[in-house]
Structure 1
Amino acid sequence: MNPVICIDGVVGCGKTTLAEILEQELNIPTFHELCNPDTEILLDKFYRDKTRWAFTMQIHFLNERFRMIKAVHKNGGGILDRSIFGDRIFASMLYEDGFMSKEEYTTYVTLLDNMLEHSLPPRLMIYLKCSVDQAIKNIQTRGREYELIVPRKYWERLNEKYTQWRHEYALSPLIEIDVDAVDILQEKDKIVEIIEKHLASSLSSL
Protein backbone atom coordinates (compact mmCIF):
# COMPACT_ATOMS: atom_id res chain seq x y z
CA MET A 1 0.00 0.00 0.00
CA ASN A 2 1.32 3.45 -0.93
CA PRO A 3 1.35 6.34 1.53
CA VAL A 4 -0.81 9.43 1.07
CA ILE A 5 1.44 12.43 0.41
CA CYS A 6 0.14 15.99 0.11
CA ILE A 7 2.15 18.80 -1.45
CA ASP A 8 1.04 22.34 -0.73
CA GLY A 9 2.21 25.90 -1.15
CA VAL A 10 1.38 29.13 -2.93
CA VAL A 11 0.40 29.14 -6.61
CA GLY A 12 3.53 28.75 -8.75
CA CYS A 13 5.76 27.19 -6.11
CA GLY A 14 6.34 23.92 -8.00
CA LYS A 15 3.81 21.48 -6.54
CA THR A 16 3.11 19.69 -9.81
CA THR A 17 6.81 19.48 -10.66
CA LEU A 18 7.59 17.82 -7.35
CA ALA A 19 4.56 15.52 -7.61
CA GLU A 20 5.71 14.28 -11.01
CA ILE A 21 9.23 13.64 -9.68
CA LEU A 22 7.88 11.65 -6.72
CA GLU A 23 5.49 9.73 -8.95
CA GLN A 24 8.41 8.64 -11.15
CA GLU A 25 10.97 8.02 -8.41
CA LEU A 26 8.69 6.40 -5.80
CA ASN A 27 6.21 4.79 -8.20
CA ILE A 28 3.26 6.43 -6.45
CA PRO A 29 0.37 7.76 -8.59
CA THR A 30 -0.42 11.48 -8.60
CA PHE A 31 -3.94 12.90 -8.34
CA HIS A 32 -3.68 16.28 -10.08
CA GLU A 33 -5.60 19.35 -8.95
CA LEU A 34 -6.40 20.48 -12.50
CA CYS A 35 -7.57 17.13 -13.88
CA ASN A 36 -11.17 18.40 -14.26
CA PRO A 37 -11.50 20.56 -17.43
CA ASP A 38 -14.19 22.65 -15.72
CA THR A 39 -11.60 23.85 -13.20
CA GLU A 40 -9.58 25.91 -15.68
CA ILE A 41 -12.76 27.36 -17.19
CA LEU A 42 -13.89 28.51 -13.74
CA LEU A 43 -10.42 29.79 -12.85
CA ASP A 44 -10.46 32.02 -15.93
CA LYS A 45 -13.88 33.41 -14.95
CA PHE A 46 -12.78 33.83 -11.32
CA TYR A 47 -9.60 35.80 -12.00
CA ARG A 48 -11.51 38.14 -14.33
CA ASP A 49 -14.41 38.75 -11.91
CA LYS A 50 -13.70 37.58 -8.35
CA THR A 51 -16.85 39.04 -6.81
CA ARG A 52 -19.10 37.09 -9.17
CA TRP A 53 -17.18 33.81 -9.15
CA ALA A 54 -15.39 33.57 -5.77
CA PHE A 55 -18.03 31.49 -3.99
CA THR A 56 -18.68 29.25 -7.01
CA MET A 57 -14.94 28.72 -7.45
CA GLN A 58 -14.40 27.82 -3.80
CA ILE A 59 -17.27 25.34 -3.72
CA HIS A 60 -15.99 23.78 -6.94
CA PHE A 61 -12.48 23.38 -5.52
CA LEU A 62 -13.80 22.07 -2.21
CA ASN A 63 -15.87 19.45 -4.01
CA GLU A 64 -12.91 18.46 -6.21
CA ARG A 65 -10.51 18.16 -3.26
CA PHE A 66 -12.96 16.10 -1.24
CA ARG A 67 -13.40 13.81 -4.25
CA MET A 68 -9.63 13.54 -4.63
CA ILE A 69 -8.91 12.74 -0.96
CA LYS A 70 -11.54 9.98 -1.12
CA ALA A 71 -10.10 8.66 -4.39
CA VAL A 72 -6.53 8.58 -3.10
CA HIS A 73 -7.54 6.58 -0.02
CA LYS A 74 -9.71 4.25 -2.12
CA ASN A 75 -6.69 3.72 -4.37
CA GLY A 76 -4.58 2.74 -1.37
CA GLY A 77 -2.35 5.81 -1.49
CA GLY A 78 -1.08 8.48 -3.82
CA ILE A 79 0.19 12.02 -4.16
CA LEU A 80 -2.01 15.12 -4.07
CA ASP A 81 -0.55 18.32 -5.58
CA ARG A 82 -2.86 20.36 -3.34
CA SER A 83 -5.41 19.14 -0.84
CA ILE A 84 -8.53 19.86 1.14
CA PHE A 85 -6.42 20.55 4.25
CA GLY A 86 -5.28 23.92 2.91
CA ASP A 87 -8.51 24.84 1.15
CA ARG A 88 -9.59 27.41 3.76
CA ILE A 89 -6.61 29.63 2.82
CA PHE A 90 -8.22 30.90 -0.36
CA ALA A 91 -11.73 31.32 1.02
CA SER A 92 -10.63 33.26 4.12
CA MET A 93 -8.63 35.67 1.99
CA LEU A 94 -11.49 36.18 -0.46
CA TYR A 95 -13.86 36.85 2.44
CA GLU A 96 -11.47 39.29 4.11
CA ASP A 97 -10.95 41.11 0.82
CA GLY A 98 -14.69 41.46 0.23
CA PHE A 99 -15.11 39.02 -2.66
CA MET A 100 -17.30 36.64 -0.61
CA SER A 101 -20.22 37.70 1.58
CA LYS A 102 -20.50 36.66 5.21
CA GLU A 103 -23.31 34.26 4.30
CA GLU A 104 -21.27 32.69 1.49
CA TYR A 105 -18.23 32.28 3.70
CA THR A 106 -20.28 30.76 6.53
CA THR A 107 -21.82 28.28 4.09
CA TYR A 108 -18.37 27.39 2.76
CA VAL A 109 -16.82 26.93 6.22
CA THR A 110 -19.68 24.74 7.40
CA LEU A 111 -19.36 22.52 4.35
CA LEU A 112 -15.56 22.34 4.69
CA ASP A 113 -15.76 21.36 8.36
CA ASN A 114 -18.28 18.62 7.54
CA MET A 115 -15.97 17.26 4.85
CA LEU A 116 -12.87 17.41 7.06
CA GLU A 117 -14.61 15.13 9.56
CA HIS A 118 -14.53 12.45 6.86
CA SER A 119 -11.06 13.22 5.45
CA LEU A 120 -8.13 11.21 6.77
CA PRO A 121 -4.91 13.23 7.07
CA PRO A 122 -1.91 12.32 4.90
CA ARG A 123 1.09 10.40 6.15
CA LEU A 124 3.24 13.34 5.08
CA MET A 125 2.61 16.98 4.18
CA ILE A 126 5.29 18.62 2.02
CA TYR A 127 5.23 22.41 2.14
CA LEU A 128 7.02 24.31 -0.61
CA LYS A 129 8.17 27.64 0.78
CA CYS A 130 8.39 30.17 -2.02
CA SER A 131 8.91 33.92 -2.30
CA VAL A 132 6.41 36.02 -4.23
CA ASP A 133 9.11 36.92 -6.78
CA GLN A 134 9.90 33.27 -7.48
CA ALA A 135 6.22 32.32 -7.67
CA ILE A 136 5.49 35.10 -10.17
CA LYS A 137 8.52 34.08 -12.24
CA ASN A 138 7.20 30.51 -12.41
CA ILE A 139 3.67 31.71 -13.20
CA GLN A 140 4.99 33.82 -16.08
CA THR A 141 7.05 30.91 -17.40
CA ARG A 142 4.12 28.50 -17.59
CA GLY A 143 1.99 31.23 -19.17
CA ARG A 144 -1.57 30.48 -18.11
CA GLU A 145 -3.41 33.55 -19.38
CA TYR A 146 -5.85 33.76 -16.47
CA GLU A 147 -2.95 33.88 -13.97
CA LEU A 148 -0.96 36.52 -15.86
CA ILE A 149 -3.67 39.16 -15.31
CA VAL A 150 -3.58 38.78 -11.51
CA PRO A 151 -1.98 41.75 -9.68
CA ARG A 152 1.08 41.17 -7.49
CA LYS A 153 -0.87 42.22 -4.37
CA TYR A 154 -3.06 39.11 -4.68
CA TRP A 155 -0.02 36.81 -4.73
CA GLU A 156 1.48 38.67 -1.76
CA ARG A 157 -1.69 38.21 0.29
CA LEU A 158 -1.88 34.55 -0.68
CA ASN A 159 1.71 33.96 0.33
CA GLU A 160 1.06 35.55 3.73
CA LYS A 161 -1.90 33.22 4.21
CA TYR A 162 0.14 30.17 3.27
CA THR A 163 2.94 31.14 5.65
CA GLN A 164 0.43 31.39 8.50
CA TRP A 165 -1.19 28.08 7.54
CA ARG A 166 2.16 26.30 7.42
CA HIS A 167 2.97 27.30 11.00
CA GLU A 168 -0.47 26.25 12.26
CA TYR A 169 -0.64 22.90 10.44
CA ALA A 170 -0.60 19.97 12.88
CA LEU A 171 -2.59 17.14 11.25
CA SER A 172 0.45 15.09 10.20
CA PRO A 173 4.25 15.26 9.93
CA LEU A 174 5.34 18.16 7.71
CA ILE A 175 8.58 18.89 5.94
CA GLU A 176 9.44 22.21 4.34
CA ILE A 177 11.43 22.74 1.16
CA ASP A 178 12.59 26.28 0.36
CA VAL A 179 12.32 26.43 -3.42
CA ASP A 180 14.15 29.76 -3.51
CA ALA A 181 17.21 27.98 -2.13
CA VAL A 182 16.75 24.53 -3.70
CA ASP A 183 16.18 23.77 -7.38
CA ILE A 184 13.71 20.86 -7.31
CA LEU A 185 14.81 19.46 -10.66
CA GLN A 186 18.55 19.76 -10.09
CA GLU A 187 18.45 18.38 -6.56
CA LYS A 188 15.66 15.85 -6.99
CA ASP A 189 17.75 12.91 -5.76
CA LYS A 190 18.49 14.64 -2.46
CA ILE A 191 14.86 15.70 -2.06
CA VAL A 192 13.55 12.20 -2.79
CA GLU A 193 15.97 10.74 -0.25
CA ILE A 194 14.79 13.16 2.44
CA ILE A 195 11.14 12.37 1.71
CA GLU A 196 11.79 8.61 1.77
CA LYS A 197 13.40 8.93 5.20
CA HIS A 198 10.43 10.88 6.55
CA LEU A 199 7.99 8.33 5.14
CA ALA A 200 9.94 5.48 6.73
CA SER A 201 10.04 7.31 10.05
CA SER A 202 6.30 8.02 9.99
CA LEU A 203 5.56 4.39 9.11
CA SER A 204 7.63 3.08 12.03
CA SER A 205 5.70 5.30 14.43
CA LEU A 206 2.28 3.99 13.38
Structure 2
Amino acid sequence: MKQNPYIAVEGAIGAGKTTLSTMLAQRFEFMLMKEIVEENPFLDKFYQNIEEWAFQLEMFFLCNRYKQLGDTLLTPASTRQPIVSDYHIYKNMIFAERTLSGVQLDKYRQIYHLLTDDLPKPNLIVYIKADLDTLLHRIQKRGRDFEQNFDAGYLSQLVEDYETAISHIRAQEPDTVIITIDGNKLDFVERPEDFEQIVAKIKEHL
Protein backbone atom coordinates (compact mmCIF):
# COMPACT_ATOMS: atom_id res chain seq x y z
CA MET A 1 0.00 0.00 0.00
CA LYS A 2 1.12 3.57 -0.68
CA GLN A 3 2.33 5.77 2.15
CA ASN A 4 -0.24 7.49 4.31
CA PRO A 5 -2.82 4.69 4.39
CA TYR A 6 -6.41 5.81 3.87
CA ILE A 7 -8.92 3.12 4.88
CA ALA A 8 -12.66 3.54 4.34
CA VAL A 9 -15.21 1.29 6.04
CA GLU A 10 -18.49 0.94 4.16
CA GLY A 11 -21.78 -0.94 4.28
CA ALA A 12 -25.50 -0.30 4.45
CA ILE A 13 -27.20 1.47 7.36
CA GLY A 14 -26.72 -0.58 10.53
CA ALA A 15 -23.72 -2.59 9.26
CA GLY A 16 -21.44 -1.33 12.03
CA LYS A 17 -19.23 1.04 10.03
CA THR A 18 -18.56 3.56 12.78
CA THR A 19 -17.94 0.89 15.40
CA LEU A 20 -15.45 -0.98 13.24
CA SER A 21 -13.76 2.23 12.08
CA THR A 22 -13.26 3.30 15.68
CA MET A 23 -11.80 -0.07 16.62
CA LEU A 24 -9.45 -0.07 13.63
CA ALA A 25 -8.28 3.49 14.26
CA GLN A 26 -7.43 2.56 17.83
CA ARG A 27 -5.63 -0.63 16.81
CA PHE A 28 -3.52 0.93 14.06
CA GLU A 29 -3.22 4.32 15.80
CA PHE A 30 -4.64 6.09 12.74
CA MET A 31 -6.70 9.26 12.68
CA LEU A 32 -10.45 8.50 12.87
CA MET A 33 -12.73 10.40 10.50
CA LYS A 34 -16.44 10.01 11.30
CA GLU A 35 -19.27 11.26 9.15
CA ILE A 36 -21.82 13.71 10.50
CA VAL A 37 -25.23 12.02 10.74
CA GLU A 38 -27.44 13.14 13.58
CA GLU A 39 -26.35 16.76 13.15
CA ASN A 40 -28.14 16.89 9.79
CA PRO A 41 -31.09 19.26 10.43
CA PHE A 42 -33.18 17.60 7.69
CA LEU A 43 -32.92 14.04 9.01
CA ASP A 44 -36.17 13.90 11.00
CA LYS A 45 -38.08 15.58 8.18
CA PHE A 46 -36.59 13.16 5.64
CA TYR A 47 -37.79 10.08 7.51
CA GLN A 48 -41.26 11.61 7.71
CA ASN A 49 -41.41 12.61 4.04
CA ILE A 50 -38.57 11.29 1.86
CA GLU A 51 -39.73 12.90 -1.37
CA GLU A 52 -40.13 16.36 0.14
CA TRP A 53 -36.80 16.56 1.99
CA ALA A 54 -34.43 14.26 0.08
CA PHE A 55 -32.58 16.96 -1.88
CA GLN A 56 -31.90 19.11 1.18
CA LEU A 57 -30.76 16.07 3.15
CA GLU A 58 -28.41 14.79 0.43
CA MET A 59 -26.90 18.22 -0.21
CA PHE A 60 -26.18 18.71 3.48
CA PHE A 61 -24.39 15.35 3.64
CA LEU A 62 -22.44 16.00 0.44
CA CYS A 63 -21.21 19.45 1.47
CA ASN A 64 -20.23 18.35 4.96
CA ARG A 65 -18.40 15.25 3.74
CA TYR A 66 -16.62 17.27 1.06
CA LYS A 67 -15.48 19.83 3.67
CA GLN A 68 -14.36 17.10 6.05
CA LEU A 69 -12.44 15.12 3.43
CA GLY A 70 -10.99 18.23 1.80
CA ASP A 71 -9.67 19.60 5.08
CA THR A 72 -8.08 16.23 5.87
CA LEU A 73 -6.90 14.89 2.52
CA LEU A 74 -6.05 17.96 0.43
CA THR A 75 -2.84 18.52 2.36
CA PRO A 76 0.77 17.72 1.44
CA ALA A 77 1.27 13.94 1.37
CA SER A 78 4.36 14.30 3.56
CA THR A 79 2.30 15.72 6.42
CA ARG A 80 -0.94 13.76 5.98
CA GLN A 81 -1.82 11.33 8.75
CA PRO A 82 -2.92 7.74 8.15
CA ILE A 83 -6.73 7.72 8.21
CA VAL A 84 -9.62 5.39 8.94
CA SER A 85 -12.97 6.78 7.76
CA ASP A 86 -16.43 5.34 8.39
CA TYR A 87 -17.53 6.22 4.84
CA HIS A 88 -16.44 6.44 1.21
CA ILE A 89 -17.43 9.64 -0.58
CA TYR A 90 -19.28 7.57 -3.21
CA LYS A 91 -21.94 6.74 -0.62
CA ASN A 92 -23.46 10.11 -1.50
CA MET A 93 -24.36 8.79 -4.94
CA ILE A 94 -25.67 5.51 -3.51
CA PHE A 95 -28.30 7.38 -1.50
CA ALA A 96 -28.97 10.12 -4.03
CA GLU A 97 -29.72 7.59 -6.77
CA ARG A 98 -32.31 6.05 -4.46
CA THR A 99 -33.95 9.22 -3.09
CA LEU A 100 -33.71 11.72 -5.96
CA SER A 101 -34.99 11.74 -9.54
CA GLY A 102 -35.35 13.96 -12.58
CA VAL A 103 -33.90 17.46 -12.49
CA GLN A 104 -32.91 17.18 -8.83
CA LEU A 105 -30.83 14.07 -9.48
CA ASP A 106 -29.19 15.64 -12.55
CA LYS A 107 -28.23 18.73 -10.55
CA TYR A 108 -26.97 16.61 -7.69
CA ARG A 109 -24.75 14.51 -9.98
CA GLN A 110 -23.18 17.66 -11.44
CA ILE A 111 -22.43 19.10 -8.00
CA TYR A 112 -21.15 15.75 -6.72
CA HIS A 113 -18.59 15.38 -9.52
CA LEU A 114 -17.57 19.04 -9.29
CA LEU A 115 -16.78 18.64 -5.59
CA THR A 116 -15.36 15.14 -5.40
CA ASP A 117 -13.59 14.15 -8.62
CA ASP A 118 -10.23 15.49 -7.43
CA LEU A 119 -10.43 14.14 -3.87
CA PRO A 120 -7.92 11.39 -2.99
CA LYS A 121 -9.51 7.93 -2.94
CA PRO A 122 -8.99 5.28 -0.24
CA ASN A 123 -6.16 2.79 -0.59
CA LEU A 124 -8.34 0.15 1.03
CA ILE A 125 -12.07 -0.34 1.59
CA VAL A 126 -13.50 -2.66 4.23
CA TYR A 127 -16.98 -3.52 2.99
CA ILE A 128 -19.30 -4.96 5.66
CA LYS A 129 -21.86 -7.05 3.81
CA ALA A 130 -24.97 -7.97 5.82
CA ASP A 131 -28.52 -9.06 5.06
CA LEU A 132 -31.72 -7.22 5.95
CA ASP A 133 -32.46 -9.05 9.23
CA THR A 134 -28.98 -8.37 10.58
CA LEU A 135 -29.18 -4.69 9.69
CA LEU A 136 -32.65 -4.21 11.19
CA HIS A 137 -31.53 -5.88 14.41
CA ARG A 138 -28.54 -3.57 14.73
CA ILE A 139 -30.58 -0.48 13.89
CA GLN A 140 -33.07 -1.34 16.63
CA LYS A 141 -30.25 -2.14 19.06
CA ARG A 142 -28.52 1.24 18.69
CA GLY A 143 -31.81 3.02 19.35
CA ARG A 144 -31.68 6.19 17.29
CA ASP A 145 -35.15 7.71 17.56
CA PHE A 146 -35.37 8.75 13.90
CA GLU A 147 -34.53 5.19 12.76
CA GLN A 148 -37.07 3.27 14.79
CA ASN A 149 -39.78 3.42 12.11
CA PHE A 150 -37.33 2.55 9.36
CA ASP A 151 -38.82 1.35 6.08
CA ALA A 152 -37.59 -2.22 5.65
CA GLY A 153 -38.27 -2.04 1.91
CA TYR A 154 -36.01 0.99 1.56
CA LEU A 155 -33.25 -0.75 3.52
CA SER A 156 -33.61 -3.93 1.46
CA GLN A 157 -33.14 -1.93 -1.73
CA LEU A 158 -30.17 -0.18 -0.16
CA VAL A 159 -28.47 -3.54 0.40
CA GLU A 160 -28.72 -4.20 -3.34
CA ASP A 161 -27.55 -0.66 -4.11
CA TYR A 162 -24.41 -1.21 -2.07
CA GLU A 163 -23.59 -4.35 -4.03
CA THR A 164 -23.89 -2.36 -7.24
CA ALA A 165 -21.82 0.48 -5.79
CA ILE A 166 -18.98 -1.78 -4.71
CA SER A 167 -18.85 -3.24 -8.22
CA HIS A 168 -18.73 0.31 -9.58
CA ILE A 169 -15.85 1.25 -7.27
CA ARG A 170 -13.93 -1.89 -8.29
CA ALA A 171 -14.20 -0.80 -11.91
CA GLN A 172 -13.50 2.91 -11.36
CA GLU A 173 -10.77 2.59 -8.71
CA PRO A 174 -8.75 -0.49 -9.75
CA ASP A 175 -5.88 0.39 -7.39
CA THR A 176 -8.14 0.31 -4.34
CA VAL A 177 -8.08 -2.92 -2.34
CA ILE A 178 -11.58 -4.06 -1.27
CA ILE A 179 -11.94 -6.48 1.64
CA THR A 180 -15.45 -7.90 2.05
CA ILE A 181 -16.51 -8.83 5.59
CA ASP A 182 -19.47 -11.13 6.23
CA GLY A 183 -21.43 -9.06 8.73
CA ASN A 184 -23.92 -11.88 9.29
CA LYS A 185 -21.25 -14.24 10.63
CA LEU A 186 -18.48 -12.02 12.01
CA ASP A 187 -19.29 -10.18 15.23
CA PHE A 188 -16.26 -7.93 15.63
CA VAL A 189 -17.74 -6.30 18.75
CA GLU A 190 -18.60 -9.36 20.84
CA ARG A 191 -15.96 -11.79 19.55
CA PRO A 192 -12.34 -10.53 19.69
CA GLU A 193 -11.21 -13.34 17.39
CA ASP A 194 -13.49 -12.00 14.65
CA PHE A 195 -11.97 -8.55 14.97
CA GLU A 196 -8.48 -10.03 14.84
CA GLN A 197 -9.43 -11.81 11.64
CA ILE A 198 -10.34 -8.47 10.06
CA VAL A 199 -7.13 -6.85 11.34
CA ALA A 200 -5.07 -9.68 9.87
CA LYS A 201 -6.66 -9.19 6.44
CA ILE A 202 -5.91 -5.46 6.54
CA LYS A 203 -2.31 -6.02 7.64
CA GLU A 204 -1.73 -8.05 4.49
CA HIS A 205 -2.06 -4.81 2.52
CA LEU A 206 -0.47 -2.29 4.87
Q: For the superposition of Structure 1 and Structure 2, which TM-score range results when normalised by the shorter chain? A: 0.7 to 0.9
Two-structure CA RMSD over aligned residues (Å): 1.6
Separation in 1, partners of 2:42, 2:138? 21
Matched letter for residue 196 of structure 1: K
| TM-score in terms of structure 2 length | 0.87
The structure with more helix, counted as a fraction of residues: 1
What is aligned with 1:181?
A: 185
What is aligned with 1:126?
A: 126
Task: State how 1:27-176 maps to structure 2 within 5 Å.
Answer: 27-34=29-36, 38-39=39-40, 41-73=41-73, 74=75, 75-95=80-100, 101-170=101-170, 171=173, 172-176=176-180
Secondary structure in 1 matching 2:115? helix
| TM-score in terms of structure 1 length | 0.87
1:195 pairs, out of 192, 202, 205, with 202
Could you tell me how far 1:124 is from its partner in structure 2? Answer: 0.6
Unpaired runs of 5+ residues, structure 1, are 96-100, 200-206
Unpaired runs of 5+ residues, structure 2, are none
- How many residues are matched? 192
Give per-residue Cα distances to partners, 1:95-118, cap 9 Å, x unaligned.
3xxxxx411111100011112222
Secondary structure in 2 matching 1:165? helix
Matched letter for residue 24 of structure 1: Q
Separation in 2, partners of 1:168, 1:16? 23
Could you tell me how far 1:160 is from its partner in structure 2? Answer: 0.9
Which runs of structure 1 show a deviation greater than 6 angstroms over 4 or more consecutive aligned residues? none
Give per-residue Cα distances to partners, 1:56-107, cap 9 Å, x unaligned.
0111111122122223323433111012122211011113xxxxx4111111
Instruction: Report the more deviating stretch, 137-146 or 147-156.
Output: 147-156
Separation in 2, partners of 1:93, 1:52? 14
Instruction: Report the more deviating stretch, 120-129 or 64-73.
Output: 64-73
Separation in 2, partners of 1:184, 1:2? 25
Separation in 2, partners of 1:8, 1:181? 17
Once the two structures are aligned, what percentage of the paired residues are identical? 29
Does the 8 Å CA contact 1:69/1:83 hold for their aligned counterparts? Answer: no
Does the 8 Å CA contact 1:65/1:83 hold for their aligned counterparts? Answer: no
Separation in 2, partners of 1:85, 1:79? 16
Give per-residue Cα distances to partners, 1:143-181, cap 9 Å, x unaligned.
111111122101011111011111222211111101101
Separation in 2, partners of 1:26, 1:180? 25
